[in-house]
Structure 1
Amino acid sequence: MTTMTAASDRIDALHAAHSASLLRFLTRLTHGERQTAEDLVQETMLRAWRHVDTLPTDPDSERRWLFTVARRLFIDVIRSRQSRPAETPVFDMDWVSSAEDTVDVAIATQSILTAFDQLSDVQRGVLSDLHFRGEAPRDLARRLRVPLGTVKSRAHYALRALRNGMEATG
Protein backbone atom coordinates (compact mmCIF):
# COMPACT_ATOMS: atom_id res chain seq x y z
CA MET A 1 0.00 0.00 0.00
CA THR A 2 1.38 3.40 -0.94
CA THR A 3 1.69 6.27 1.48
CA MET A 4 -1.02 8.21 -0.38
CA THR A 5 -3.42 5.26 -0.16
CA ALA A 6 -2.70 4.82 3.54
CA ALA A 7 -3.34 8.51 4.16
CA SER A 8 -6.54 8.37 2.16
CA ASP A 9 -7.72 5.33 4.10
CA ARG A 10 -6.91 7.05 7.39
CA ILE A 11 -8.90 10.15 6.44
CA ASP A 12 -11.80 7.98 5.25
CA ALA A 13 -11.77 6.20 8.60
CA LEU A 14 -11.62 9.50 10.51
CA HIS A 15 -14.49 10.87 8.47
CA ALA A 16 -16.61 7.76 9.00
CA ALA A 17 -15.91 7.71 12.72
CA HIS A 18 -16.25 11.40 13.58
CA SER A 19 -17.99 13.46 10.88
CA ALA A 20 -21.53 12.96 12.22
CA SER A 21 -20.59 13.99 15.76
CA LEU A 22 -18.52 16.91 14.44
CA LEU A 23 -21.49 18.06 12.39
CA ARG A 24 -23.82 17.91 15.42
CA PHE A 25 -21.26 19.79 17.53
CA LEU A 26 -20.75 22.51 14.91
CA THR A 27 -24.46 22.82 14.15
CA ARG A 28 -25.05 23.60 17.82
CA LEU A 29 -22.20 26.12 17.85
CA THR A 30 -23.52 27.86 14.73
CA HIS A 31 -27.07 28.00 16.12
CA GLY A 32 -28.43 25.75 13.41
CA GLU A 33 -26.57 27.18 10.41
CA ARG A 34 -26.17 23.79 8.78
CA GLN A 35 -24.28 25.06 5.72
CA THR A 36 -21.69 26.77 7.91
CA ALA A 37 -21.41 23.66 10.07
CA GLU A 38 -20.90 21.44 7.01
CA ASP A 39 -18.24 23.81 5.68
CA LEU A 40 -16.45 23.67 9.03
CA VAL A 41 -16.55 19.86 9.09
CA GLN A 42 -15.09 19.84 5.60
CA GLU A 43 -12.35 22.29 6.60
CA THR A 44 -11.62 20.21 9.71
CA MET A 45 -11.16 17.10 7.56
CA LEU A 46 -8.97 19.08 5.17
CA ARG A 47 -6.76 20.08 8.10
CA ALA A 48 -6.63 16.44 9.17
CA TRP A 49 -5.56 15.50 5.64
CA ARG A 50 -2.80 18.11 5.72
CA HIS A 51 -1.54 16.78 9.06
CA VAL A 52 -2.24 13.10 8.52
CA ASP A 53 1.37 12.17 9.35
CA THR A 54 1.23 13.88 12.76
CA LEU A 55 -2.32 12.98 13.79
CA PRO A 56 -2.64 11.07 17.05
CA THR A 57 -3.27 7.38 16.54
CA ASP A 58 -5.26 6.82 19.74
CA PRO A 59 -9.01 7.10 18.93
CA ASP A 60 -9.73 9.39 21.90
CA SER A 61 -6.79 11.63 21.07
CA GLU A 62 -7.69 11.89 17.39
CA ARG A 63 -11.27 12.81 18.37
CA ARG A 64 -9.98 15.53 20.72
CA TRP A 65 -7.68 16.79 17.96
CA LEU A 66 -10.56 17.01 15.47
CA PHE A 67 -12.90 18.75 17.89
CA THR A 68 -10.20 21.22 18.90
CA VAL A 69 -9.55 22.07 15.25
CA ALA A 70 -13.30 22.39 14.59
CA ARG A 71 -13.79 24.69 17.59
CA ARG A 72 -10.87 26.88 16.52
CA LEU A 73 -12.21 27.10 12.98
CA PHE A 74 -15.59 28.14 14.39
CA ILE A 75 -13.91 30.85 16.46
CA ASP A 76 -12.15 32.08 13.32
CA VAL A 77 -15.53 32.34 11.53
CA ILE A 78 -16.99 34.35 14.40
CA ARG A 79 -13.99 36.66 14.49
CA SER A 80 -14.14 37.25 10.74
CA ARG A 81 -17.85 38.10 10.96
CA GLN A 82 -17.17 40.55 13.77
CA SER A 83 -14.28 42.24 11.98
CA ARG A 84 -16.35 43.09 8.91
CA PRO A 85 -18.30 46.33 9.14
CA ALA A 86 -22.05 46.00 9.35
CA GLU A 87 -23.75 46.19 5.99
CA THR A 88 -25.66 49.40 5.45
CA PRO A 89 -28.71 48.98 3.29
CA VAL A 90 -28.99 51.36 0.37
CA PHE A 91 -32.52 52.10 -0.73
CA ASP A 92 -33.99 54.06 -3.55
CA MET A 93 -36.93 55.74 -1.90
CA ASP A 94 -38.31 56.95 -5.25
CA TRP A 95 -40.90 54.16 -5.06
CA VAL A 96 -42.82 56.38 -2.63
CA SER A 97 -43.79 58.87 -5.32
CA SER A 98 -46.75 58.08 -7.50
CA ALA A 99 -48.15 59.10 -10.84
CA GLU A 100 -50.16 61.78 -9.06
CA ASP A 101 -47.70 64.58 -8.51
CA THR A 102 -49.85 66.66 -6.26
CA VAL A 103 -48.79 68.80 -3.35
CA ASP A 104 -50.43 66.34 -0.94
CA VAL A 105 -48.44 63.41 -2.35
CA ALA A 106 -45.21 65.41 -2.20
CA ILE A 107 -45.87 66.34 1.44
CA ALA A 108 -46.75 62.76 2.36
CA THR A 109 -43.62 61.48 0.61
CA GLN A 110 -41.44 63.99 2.42
CA SER A 111 -43.13 63.09 5.71
CA ILE A 112 -42.37 59.39 5.21
CA LEU A 113 -38.75 60.05 4.20
CA THR A 114 -38.15 62.38 7.15
CA ALA A 115 -39.72 59.96 9.62
CA PHE A 116 -37.76 57.04 8.16
CA ASP A 117 -34.49 58.97 8.46
CA GLN A 118 -35.23 59.66 12.14
CA LEU A 119 -35.51 55.96 13.02
CA SER A 120 -32.59 54.23 14.70
CA ASP A 121 -30.34 52.01 12.59
CA VAL A 122 -31.93 48.90 14.10
CA GLN A 123 -35.44 50.15 13.38
CA ARG A 124 -34.58 51.13 9.80
CA GLY A 125 -32.87 47.77 9.31
CA VAL A 126 -35.78 45.65 10.51
CA LEU A 127 -38.34 47.62 8.48
CA SER A 128 -36.12 47.49 5.41
CA ASP A 129 -35.57 43.75 5.71
CA LEU A 130 -39.20 42.91 6.38
CA HIS A 131 -41.03 45.39 4.15
CA PHE A 132 -38.66 46.47 1.38
CA ARG A 133 -36.81 43.21 0.87
CA GLY A 134 -39.74 41.01 1.86
CA GLU A 135 -37.67 38.83 4.20
CA ALA A 136 -39.73 36.54 6.41
CA PRO A 137 -39.56 37.35 10.15
CA ARG A 138 -38.34 33.82 10.95
CA ASP A 139 -35.53 34.09 8.39
CA LEU A 140 -34.54 37.51 9.68
CA ALA A 141 -34.46 36.21 13.26
CA ARG A 142 -32.24 33.33 12.19
CA ARG A 143 -29.90 35.65 10.28
CA LEU A 144 -29.66 38.13 13.15
CA ARG A 145 -29.41 35.30 15.69
CA VAL A 146 -32.20 36.69 17.83
CA PRO A 147 -35.53 35.15 18.87
CA LEU A 148 -38.48 35.56 16.52
CA GLY A 149 -40.28 37.60 19.18
CA THR A 150 -37.43 40.11 19.18
CA VAL A 151 -37.80 40.68 15.45
CA LYS A 152 -41.57 41.12 15.82
CA SER A 153 -41.09 43.48 18.74
CA ARG A 154 -38.52 45.56 16.85
CA ALA A 155 -40.84 45.76 13.86
CA HIS A 156 -43.75 46.84 16.06
CA TYR A 157 -41.79 49.61 17.75
CA ALA A 158 -40.21 50.70 14.47
CA LEU A 159 -43.63 51.05 12.80
CA ARG A 160 -44.92 52.94 15.81
CA ALA A 161 -41.92 55.29 15.70
CA LEU A 162 -42.44 55.78 11.96
CA ARG A 163 -46.12 56.62 12.51
CA ASN A 164 -45.26 59.03 15.34
CA GLY A 165 -42.57 60.64 13.18
CA MET A 166 -45.00 61.14 10.33
CA GLU A 167 -47.62 62.64 12.66
CA ALA A 168 -45.01 65.02 14.08
CA THR A 169 -44.17 66.35 10.62
CA GLY A 170 -47.85 66.99 9.92
Structure 2
Amino acid sequence: MAQEPDALLRALHQAYARPLQSYVVRLTGDHALAEDVVQEAMVRAWKHPEVLAREEGATRAWLYTVVRNLVIDDRRSARHARERTTDTTPDTPQPDASQAVLDSWLVADALEELTPEHRAVVVGAYYGGRSVAELAREHQIPEGTVKSRMHYALRALRLALQERGVSA
Protein backbone atom coordinates (compact mmCIF):
# COMPACT_ATOMS: atom_id res chain seq x y z
CA MET A 1 0.00 0.00 0.00
CA ALA A 2 2.95 2.38 0.71
CA GLN A 3 4.11 2.00 -2.90
CA GLU A 4 0.73 2.88 -4.28
CA PRO A 5 0.72 6.60 -3.26
CA ASP A 6 4.30 7.01 -4.50
CA ALA A 7 3.46 5.43 -7.84
CA LEU A 8 0.33 7.58 -8.09
CA LEU A 9 2.32 10.70 -7.29
CA ARG A 10 4.88 9.86 -9.99
CA ALA A 11 2.10 9.31 -12.48
CA LEU A 12 0.47 12.58 -11.38
CA HIS A 13 3.75 14.42 -11.89
CA GLN A 14 4.32 12.88 -15.32
CA ALA A 15 0.79 13.70 -16.41
CA TYR A 16 0.44 17.25 -15.09
CA ALA A 17 3.83 18.85 -14.40
CA ARG A 18 4.37 20.23 -17.92
CA PRO A 19 0.81 21.47 -18.50
CA LEU A 20 0.77 23.10 -15.06
CA GLN A 21 4.12 24.74 -15.73
CA SER A 22 2.89 26.09 -19.06
CA TYR A 23 -0.21 27.42 -17.34
CA VAL A 24 1.86 29.27 -14.70
CA VAL A 25 4.19 30.69 -17.35
CA ARG A 26 1.15 32.03 -19.21
CA LEU A 27 -0.09 33.62 -15.98
CA THR A 28 3.21 35.10 -14.84
CA GLY A 29 5.76 35.03 -17.67
CA ASP A 30 8.27 33.68 -15.16
CA HIS A 31 9.73 30.21 -15.87
CA ALA A 32 11.56 29.94 -12.55
CA LEU A 33 8.42 30.81 -10.60
CA ALA A 34 6.48 28.27 -12.67
CA GLU A 35 8.88 25.50 -11.65
CA ASP A 36 8.61 26.50 -7.99
CA VAL A 37 4.82 26.67 -8.09
CA VAL A 38 4.44 23.27 -9.77
CA GLN A 39 6.85 21.74 -7.28
CA GLU A 40 4.86 23.21 -4.38
CA ALA A 41 1.61 21.90 -5.90
CA MET A 42 3.10 18.40 -6.12
CA VAL A 43 4.27 18.61 -2.51
CA ARG A 44 0.75 19.59 -1.46
CA ALA A 45 -0.67 16.65 -3.44
CA TRP A 46 1.81 14.37 -1.66
CA LYS A 47 0.71 15.78 1.72
CA HIS A 48 -2.94 15.19 0.82
CA PRO A 49 -3.10 11.58 -0.42
CA GLU A 50 -6.88 11.80 -0.75
CA VAL A 51 -6.25 13.91 -3.87
CA LEU A 52 -4.48 10.99 -5.47
CA ALA A 53 -7.54 8.76 -4.96
CA ARG A 54 -9.96 11.12 -6.75
CA GLU A 55 -11.16 10.83 -10.30
CA GLU A 56 -8.78 12.18 -12.93
CA GLY A 57 -10.91 15.27 -13.67
CA ALA A 58 -11.24 16.15 -9.99
CA THR A 59 -7.49 15.72 -9.41
CA ARG A 60 -6.73 17.89 -12.43
CA ALA A 61 -9.13 20.61 -11.24
CA TRP A 62 -7.63 20.46 -7.73
CA LEU A 63 -4.06 20.85 -9.10
CA TYR A 64 -4.97 23.81 -11.32
CA THR A 65 -6.79 25.47 -8.40
CA VAL A 66 -3.76 24.97 -6.13
CA VAL A 67 -1.42 26.35 -8.77
CA ARG A 68 -3.65 29.38 -9.43
CA ASN A 69 -3.90 30.09 -5.68
CA LEU A 70 -0.13 29.82 -5.28
CA VAL A 71 0.34 32.36 -8.08
CA ILE A 72 -2.21 34.69 -6.49
CA ASP A 73 -0.50 34.33 -3.10
CA ASP A 74 2.86 35.12 -4.70
CA ARG A 75 1.50 38.24 -6.40
CA ARG A 76 -0.04 39.45 -3.16
CA SER A 77 3.11 38.80 -1.14
CA ALA A 78 5.34 41.56 0.19
CA ARG A 79 8.26 40.01 -1.69
CA HIS A 80 6.51 40.52 -5.01
CA ALA A 81 5.53 44.10 -4.13
CA ARG A 82 9.03 45.13 -3.06
CA GLU A 83 11.44 43.01 -5.06
CA ARG A 84 12.18 43.17 -8.74
CA THR A 85 14.12 40.54 -10.60
CA THR A 86 16.60 41.45 -13.27
CA ASP A 87 19.08 39.66 -15.46
CA THR A 88 21.79 42.23 -14.83
CA THR A 89 23.21 43.37 -11.55
CA PRO A 90 22.63 47.03 -10.74
CA ASP A 91 26.24 47.62 -9.71
CA THR A 92 29.38 46.47 -11.37
CA PRO A 93 31.96 45.23 -8.89
CA GLN A 94 34.57 47.85 -8.14
CA PRO A 95 38.02 47.20 -6.73
CA ASP A 96 38.57 48.24 -3.16
CA ALA A 97 39.67 51.88 -3.23
CA SER A 98 40.35 52.21 0.50
CA GLN A 99 44.13 51.96 0.06
CA ALA A 100 44.09 54.72 -2.55
CA VAL A 101 42.06 56.94 -0.21
CA LEU A 102 44.49 56.30 2.65
CA ASP A 103 47.44 57.03 0.36
CA SER A 104 45.89 60.31 -0.78
CA TRP A 105 45.32 61.34 2.86
CA LEU A 106 48.94 60.48 3.64
CA VAL A 107 50.23 62.55 0.71
CA ALA A 108 47.91 65.46 1.55
CA ASP A 109 49.16 65.39 5.12
CA ALA A 110 52.80 65.35 3.95
CA LEU A 111 52.10 68.22 1.52
CA GLU A 112 50.96 70.34 4.48
CA GLU A 113 54.55 70.29 5.80
CA LEU A 114 55.91 71.97 2.66
CA THR A 115 56.25 75.73 2.41
CA PRO A 116 53.44 77.41 0.44
CA GLU A 117 55.84 78.12 -2.48
CA HIS A 118 57.02 74.51 -2.69
CA ARG A 119 53.50 73.14 -2.28
CA ALA A 120 52.22 75.44 -5.07
CA VAL A 121 54.67 74.07 -7.67
CA VAL A 122 54.12 70.42 -6.67
CA VAL A 123 50.34 70.74 -6.70
CA GLY A 124 50.39 72.75 -9.93
CA ALA A 125 52.64 70.25 -11.70
CA TYR A 126 51.30 66.91 -10.39
CA TYR A 127 47.64 67.65 -9.71
CA GLY A 128 47.15 70.52 -12.15
CA GLY A 129 49.19 68.99 -14.97
CA ARG A 130 50.89 72.30 -15.74
CA SER A 131 54.36 72.54 -17.30
CA VAL A 132 57.37 74.37 -15.87
CA ALA A 133 56.78 77.27 -18.28
CA GLU A 134 53.09 77.54 -17.27
CA LEU A 135 53.98 77.47 -13.58
CA ALA A 136 56.64 80.13 -14.12
CA ARG A 137 54.13 82.44 -15.83
CA GLU A 138 51.46 81.71 -13.21
CA HIS A 139 53.73 82.49 -10.25
CA GLN A 140 55.69 85.18 -12.08
CA ILE A 141 59.05 83.55 -11.36
CA PRO A 142 61.81 82.26 -13.65
CA GLU A 143 61.59 78.68 -14.96
CA GLY A 144 64.83 77.81 -13.15
CA THR A 145 63.20 78.84 -9.85
CA VAL A 146 60.24 76.55 -10.58
CA LYS A 147 62.63 73.66 -11.22
CA SER A 148 64.60 74.44 -8.07
CA ARG A 149 61.43 74.65 -5.95
CA MET A 150 60.22 71.38 -7.45
CA HIS A 151 63.52 69.67 -6.61
CA TYR A 152 63.55 70.83 -2.99
CA ALA A 153 59.80 70.27 -2.59
CA LEU A 154 60.08 66.66 -3.72
CA ARG A 155 63.02 66.10 -1.40
CA ALA A 156 61.06 67.53 1.54
CA LEU A 157 57.99 65.51 0.53
CA ARG A 158 60.04 62.30 0.45
CA LEU A 159 61.34 63.02 3.97
CA ALA A 160 57.83 63.79 5.24
CA LEU A 161 56.53 60.52 3.82
CA GLN A 162 59.43 58.57 5.30
CA GLU A 163 58.57 60.06 8.70
CA ARG A 164 55.08 58.60 8.25
CA GLY A 165 56.44 55.13 7.52
CA VAL A 166 56.37 55.20 3.72
CA SER A 167 59.51 53.74 2.18
CA ALA A 168 60.69 54.56 -1.33
Using structure 2 for the length normalisation, give the TM-score: 0.47
> Between Structure 1 and Structure 2, whose CA radius of gyration is higher?
2
Using structure 1 for the length normalisation, give the TM-score: 0.46
